[in-house]
Amino acid sequence: MLEMLLHPQNLDLVYFCTLGVFFSAFVSLLPALHIYNVLGIFMMFILSYENTMTGMQLVSMSTGMVVGYSILNTVPATYFGPGDESLSYYILPSAHWVAMGRGYESVILTGMGALGGLILLAACAPLFLHILPGLKAITSPHMFWILGAVIAYMLLSEWPKGVSQSRSTWVNFREGWSFLLVGLATFFLSGLLGFIVLSKTMVPIEFAFQSITPVFVGLFAIPWLITNIINAGVIPHQHECESIDLTWELYFRGLFGGYLGGFFAAFIPIVTAGVGGLMAGHATAQRDGRLFVMSYGTCKTVYYVGSFLLFFIPGLSLTRGGLAWIVTPVMTFLTIKEYVLFIGVMLFAAGLSFMMLMPFTRACIRLVRVIDYHWISVVAMGIIIPMTYWFTGWGGIAIMTVATGLGLLPVLFQARRMNLMGVLLLPVAINMAGYGQEVTRFLRLV
């Protein structure tokens, strides 16, 4: 693999991959901005100039970007706020570490998990050639109910907090169920928004590929930035540890759990790393805080990169995740050579990104030390709203505003943010089951 990668005719791939990693570091610095949105715009630009890059060069750059983003975005997400659901699942425990001055340790743990996940992904790559075609054949006719099961478990596994200590059982019951009802309302209202956006988008046609962007900006990014801005707390001094308190046993347990969750999310359409991580965490009975943080790093990286890897498996034709859809127009013919090259480029990007992680984290820590993070959030908001307007117009701003209202629900009522994924899970599961048209007609969307 190394020989193939370092062959003079392929060295350009290393160059483009390096560019992608550096570009992802820049994108990661912009809080709440998702790499897929940037890549979408980037692709639009590239495709307008024929012969600018070859297909494999674009793949290398995209791989560098997605690997770099999946490893480096933990840093700004930890200190400034998450850009999507896969990140917000990690953010609450991570915020706890930051509050203890251990944000640096949390980021490094996540990075170790991410690196381990990518190495394991590469190690499993030959197995995928044999296992995944069979797995696809078995599960393809059943995807809709698998999504249904994921939804059912997400909703059923949210337990009441039960903090009320009233002598009246009904008061306690009402208090316990208020959290659950907010969760259910969030899920179904998000689902309704998803139906509307997917059936009748208000985004200009030339930016149709960005039609979901205002939804995600509203559901995840803006509520977090608002929370940051109104938060009265300050980020305490962050300790830059020299070693990590982690045993190999714990490392492999976290890696295993995270890998399962990430692979599940990568393989099943619409399921994100947050949902996959929740299920894998429950399946492997994770309890240790370090395990969770590290395993999260594995989960989200395997999800982002794994879904892209599935695209390169010859003969499988699995297009999962935004990136695979983005490169589909330029990669029409895939052989084992492209698959091996992809694995090589992925490992190179993983090593480079991991080496950049520590200086990048230190830079972010210095940034929050110098500039109040409230102002960073204000600036981020000042970037993200005009960008949404620029690409999606007033229609996008309207969608973003509604989504922000929904995104604030779990923040205000301390319910799971994951329920916001109803925006995609519900319409896609119903469409896959074949009831989509009935629902859109019932909602008078057609």
Partner 1 sequence: MKGFTHFISGIAVASFFPQAVHMASQEQSFILCLGGIFDILPDTLDFKFARFFHVSEFEVRPDPRKLDAFEIASTVAASMEKAKKDGRSTVQLHTMQLGSNLWQSYVLGFDAKTSEVVVDIGPLVDTGQVPYDGTEPKEKASARVKVSCTFFQEFDKKSNIAIMSGPCFEFIKRDEKRVEIVFLPWHRTWSHSATLGIFTAIVVGAATYFVIPDGPHQALYSLHRWMVYPLIIFFGSMVHIVEDSTGFMGNNLFWPFTADRTRGLGFMSAAEAIPNFFFVWTSVICILFNLDRNRWAPEAFPSGIGSYESFFFWLYVLPCAIMLYFFLKGKHEKAAKKAGSGDVESSNDFDSATSEKETDASII
Q: Which is nearer to partner 1, 152 or 336 (CB)?
A: 152
CB of 179 to partner 1, least distance (A): 11
Report the C-alpha gap between 317 and 310 in whole angstroms. Answer: 8
Report the C-alpha gap between 262 and 307 in whole angstroms. Answer: 9
Provide the 8-state DSSP code for 243: S
Contact pick of 100, 208, 234, 371 for partner 1 (by CB under 8 A): 100
Provide the 8-state DSSP code for 333: -
User: Taking CB under 8 A as the rule, does residue 135 contact partner 1?
Assistant: yes
CB of 424 to partner 1, least distance (A): 18
- The first and second tokens of residue 211, run together, are 């039609």
User: Taking CB under 8 A as the rule, does residue 136 contact partner 1?
Assistant: yes
CA atoms within 13 A of residue 149's CA, in its CB half-sphere: 8
Q: Which is nearer to partner 1, 55 or 176 (CB)?
A: 176
Neighbours of 243 (CB within 10 A): 7
CB of 4 to partner 1, least distance (A): 29
- The first and second tokens of residue 57, run together, are 């060069």
Least Cα distance to 71 among 325, 226, 296 occurs for 296
Q: Which is nearer to partner 1, 153 or 188 (CB)?
A: 153
User: Taking CB under 8 A as the rule, does residue 433 contact partner 1?
Assistant: yes
Number of residues counted as binding partner 1 (CB under 8 A): 45
CB of 146 to partner 1, least distance (A): 9
Radius of gyration from C-alpha coordinates of the chain = 21
Report the C-alpha gap between 132 and 326 in whole angstroms. Answer: 22
Q: Which is nearer to partner 1, 282 or 337 (CB)?
A: 282
Q: Which is nearer to partner 1, 51 or 169 (CB)?
A: 169
Report the C-alpha gap between 262 and 295 in whole angstroms. Answer: 9
CB of 156 to partner 1, least distance (A): 5
CB of 311 to partner 1, least distance (A): 20
User: Taking CB under 8 A as the rule, does residue 416 contact partner 1?
Assistant: no
Q: Give me the 271-310 binding string for partner 1, x by CB under 8 A, dash otherwise.
A: --------x--xxxxxx-x---------------------
Instruction: Give yes or no for a contact between 72 and 360, defined as CB atoms under 8 angstroms apart.
Output: yes
User: Taking CB under 8 A as the rule, does residue 413 contact partner 1?
Assistant: no
User: Taking CB under 8 A as the rule, does residue 152 contact partner 1?
Assistant: yes
Report the C-alpha gap between 216 and 388 in whole angstroms. Answer: 11
Q: Which is nearer to partner 1, 253 or 300 (CB)?
A: 253
Stretch of 59-67, 117-125, 159-167, 368-376 lying at the interface with partner 1 (CB under 8 A): 159-167
Neighbours of 333 (CB within 10 A): 7
Q: Which is nearer to partner 1, 283 or 445 (CB)?
A: 283
CA distances from 6 to 1, 19, 59 (A): 9, 17, 17
User: Taking CB under 8 A as the rule, does residue 237 contact partner 1?
Assistant: no
Report the C-alpha gap between 282 and 288 in whole angstroms. Answer: 12
CB of 152 to partner 1, least distance (A): 5
Residue type present at position 382: G
Provide the 8-state DSSP code for 242: S
User: Taking CB under 8 A as the rule, does residue 142 contact partner 1?
Assistant: yes
Considering only residues 164-183, where is the footprint of partner 1 by CB under 8 A?
Answer: 165, 167, 169, 172-173, 176-177, 180
Stretch of 13-21, 30-38, 152-160, 321-329 lying at the interface with partner 1 (CB under 8 A): 152-160
User: Taking CB under 8 A as the rule, does residue 248 contact partner 1?
Assistant: no
Instruction: Give yes or no for a contact between 143 and 432, defined as CB atoms under 8 angstroms apart.
Output: yes
CB of 59 to partner 1, least distance (A): 28
User: Taking CB under 8 A as the rule, does residue 239 contact partner 1?
Assistant: no
Neighbours of 394 (CB within 10 A): 10
CA distances from 184 to 109, 193, 242, 419 (A): 33, 14, 44, 7
Contact pick of 240, 435, 437, 438 for partner 1 (by CB under 8 A): 435
Strand spans (E) along 58-141:
none
User: Taking CB under 8 A as the rule, does residue 91 contact partner 1?
Assistant: no
- What's CA 135's distance to the chain center, in Å? 24
Residues contributing to the site for partner 1 (CB under 8 A) = 93, 96, 100, 133-139, 141-142, 144-145, 148-149, 152-153, 156-157, 159-163, 165, 167, 169, 172-173, 176-177, 180, 253, 279, 282-287, 289, 433-435
